[in-house]
Amino acid sequence: MFSFVPLLPVNGLLRRYHQDKGMDMRVCDRFGVWHILVMIFGGFFLLLALIGTLRGGGAS
C-alpha cells in the first residue's frame, strides 16, 4: 500500500536536478493522449488479472 514511499526522495532529487538545469517543469505536468491510452490499456490488463485471480478455476 505504501510502496511509493521509497520513491519520494528520488522524486525530490529529480525535481531539484531539473530546476538546477533550468528546465521548464510545466512541460511534464499534463497527460497526453498516449499517456491516457497506456493507462486505459494497463488498467484493462490489471482488471483481467484481478478477475482471473479471484475466479481461480485451478488446474485439474
Residue 50's pLDDT is 94
HEC-encoded secondary structure of the chain: CCCCHHHHHHHHHHHHHHHHCCCCHHHHCCCCHHHHHHHHHHHHHHHHHHHHHHHCCCCC
Number of domains in the chain: 1
Distance between CA 58 and CA 4 in Å, rounded? 32
The domain in which residue 43 lies consists of 5-54
Higher pLDDT residue, 44 or 55?
44
Q: What is the pLDDT of residues 17-41, one digit of tens each?
A: 988 888 777 776 778 899 999 999 9
**Does residue 60 sit within a domain?**
no
Mean pLDDT of the residues in the chain: 86
pTM: predicted TM-score of the whole model, two decimal places: 0.50
**Does residue 36 sit within a domain?**
yes
* Amino acid (one-letter) located at 29: D
